[in-house]
Chain A
Amino acid sequence: MADKIYRINMNDLSFTIEDVPSEWMGLGGRGLTSTIVAKEVDPQCHPLGPNNKLVFAPGLLSGTSAANSGRNSCGAKSPLTGGIKESNVGGTTAGIMAKLGIKALIIEGLPQDDSTFYHLHVSFEKVEIQQVPELVGKNNFEVLDHMLAKYNKKVAVMSIGRPAEQKMLISNISVKDPKGKLRSHGRGGLGAVMGSKKIKCITVDAEKFNEASANIVDPEKFKEANKVFTKALQENPISGEGLPAFGTNVLVNILNEAGALPTRNFRSGQYDFAENICGETMAENIKARGGSTTHGCHAGCVIQCSQTYNDKDGNYLTSGFEYEMIWAFGANFGIRDLDLIAKIDALMDDLGVDAIETGVTMGLAADAGILAYGDGAKAYEILANDVSNGTPLGRIIGSGCANLGKLYGLVRVPVVKGQSIPAYEPRAVKGQGVAYATSPMGADHTAGYAVATNILNSGGFVDPLKKEGQVALARNLQIATAAVDSTGMCIFVAFPALDDPKCLPALIDMINARFGISLSGDDVLNLGANILKTERAFNIKAGLTSASDRLPEFMNYEPLPPHNLVWDFTNEEIDEFWNF
């Protein structure tokens, strides 16, 4: 039996199971969520109104034994950017959805009775929709415990915390990982979309499943290709050694050394206390205190960049403690104590708010005079009390960086398309700046990780401080990434893919073996290019223009130490990006 589309209508709390239209057959992950959103969502709809849809789709290889293939994509019109959004995450959902033969889960409409929240339980050929008044006002870990007690450990759980119930733009959708910790569809305020539909949590249960959906047309070829692919991941020095040893936080020192670690709300490219918060320090702490430097965000991960982090007394503090979070609250907001950042990380997992959007907003809040730069205790309190309870201050912070900037009349507001700029300073990593400017997602480092080639010497080297070659680099990476985001693969597959010529062909061989098709490398790149164009077309119809493909103006005239460079691309040079 072929895969199906599960469609849930919150207007009347009904569901249907549909055949997959032929034009969606070859799509998965981001390719599918963006195609569905572009086809079915009015680009001019209010993102929190009845006409937006929330779409989940596992990658093309999710549910198979392919290494690192367990990423699930979530798409919608973003209330933060006003454009299309895709955000993918590990956890257990992609594998379980794929096992059930769910090609995509589409949630539409808003319930008539909006006085409470609902729980959707998705199982083989069935969706149960129940009111859960007892979970209203609860944060993620309590919801998770509740669901794990109700079912068994094997269900996938996606949930929202209090900020998303209140439709705050910093809110995300949290997803259970294999160890019962949380990961998230972080960016773009997707939690608010789920909150608007009054959905508190979604469980996916594959106790009974579709045997045929796991079928692989050519199992021998698949196994062979997976072997080559896994080997490429394990033998690459970054994915095989660096990421497992230090996690993503190894980047603090290298970005700091390169003068590209955004510091004090993007005022400098270097942080005096980088050593306090860097990956090396984190790894030392983990070694001394117990905890683990390796942890996979989903079952099939062979890289294991994630970790569990304990406090001084060896008690668990947090897991999935990533560079972006540590940078945002460390260098950018100014906390010097890694343990305090870990405490805030755990709180934010529970609340379900995006690390980047929240952290950058906090940095700007210091500019606004709401709290002192580096006052982590106060930041914790604002999140735990104000944001969680939705006080006026909590709502101001919860509205994200762009809105905070407007409310306080601030000029130095680090956003593109309303979304906060992540942990790489565009003036000193110019290829990344082009990617931020042009990505249909708003400022997003994962949409085209030019840092690899600008800073890390992966996939060659393009000088981060010069303009030459950056537009082409950002374009090539975004096209390739859009394709990879459709396979269910984690973004770190990019490192071996950039440096090992056997890696991408093996990935394509797996897709071909699974479906009995014969895609070429060019076909896959065409897929990526089409996804980007589809997303861009949606954004244009939604009212975004070329003028939205710009970095914040202050970067044009404010030189960034230590290199003292400004952002010096002309509009025409940036717009060149779309000539493909």
Chain B
Amino acid sequence: MQEIHITIKLFAQYREERFKVEQRKIKKGTSAKDIMDVLGISEHKLPLGVLMVNSKHEKEDYILQEGDTLALFPKVGGG
């Protein structure tokens, strides 16, 4: 089974009891949603606000690639 390396970054309340940044080895073909499920973010009381891969907005069904950086934010705002 092929594995790829990714970096996961979490922000705001998603960091609580998790981490800020972590490198992980995952199965090829894993989606961003799969990662969210594993981390318990899919069930977090704060809904997903923004998902970025390599600094670009993507959707939850994005299939992660070798070297990707996945960033997950709850709904945040300011101004």
Residues of B participating in the A interface, judged by any CB pair closer than 8 Å: 9, 11-13, 15, 20, 46-47, 49-50, 52, 55-57, 71, 73-79
Contacts and interface: CB of A to CB of B under 8 A. Distances in A.
Interface of A: 237-239, 241-243, 245-251, 253-254, 257-259, 270, 275, 279-280, 305, 322-323, 445-446, 449, 451-452, 455-458, 461, 463-465, 491-492, 494-495, 562-563
B7 to A, nearest CB: 12
* CB-based closest 6 A-B pairs: A248-B78, A237-B75, A238-B77, A242-B76, A251-B78, A259-B55
Which of B47, B57, B71 has the largest count of A CB atoms less than 10 A from its CB?
B57
A322 B49 CA distance: 21
A445 B71 CA distance: 25
Contacts of B73: 253-254, 257
Contact of B77 (A243, A446, A562): A243
B77 A492 contact: yes
A492 B77 CA distance: 8
Contact of A242 (B56, B57, B75): B75
Most buried by A among B20, B55, B57, B76: B76
A278 to B, nearest CB: 8
Nearest to B51: A457
A457 B49 contact: yes
Nearest to B78: A248
B16 to A, nearest CB: 10
21 contacts: A237-B74, A238-B75, A238-B77, A241-B74, A242-B12, A242-B77, A248-B79, A250-B12, A251-B79, A254-B76, A257-B55, A279-B78, A455-B50, A456-B75, A456-B77, A457-B49, A457-B50, A458-B77, A464-B57, A492-B78, A495-B77
A463 B49 CA distance: 15
Interface of B is mostly: mixed
Nearest to B55: A259
Nearest to A464: B57
B76 A446 contact: no
A323 B50 CA distance: 19
Contacts of B12: 242, 245-246, 250, 253, 279-280
Given A239-B77, A241-B46, A455-B57, 13 more contacts: A238-B76, A251-B78, A251-B79, A254-B11, A257-B9, A257-B55, A258-B52, A456-B76, A456-B77, A457-B57, A463-B57, A464-B57, A465-B56
Given A456-B49, A457-B49, A257 B75 contact: no
B77 A452 contact: yes
A272 B50 CA distance: 21
A479 to B, nearest CB: 17
A445 B79 contact: yes
A326 to B, nearest CB: 11
A457 B50 CA distance: 7
A555 B13 CA distance: 35
Instruction: Report which residue of B11, B12, B49, B79 has the largest number of chain A beta carbons within 10 angstroms of its beta carbon.
Output: B79
Given A257-B52, A280-B15, A242 B74 contact: yes
Contacts of B20: 275, 280
Nearest to A284: B15
Contacts of B77: 238-239, 242-243, 250-251, 452, 456, 458, 492, 495
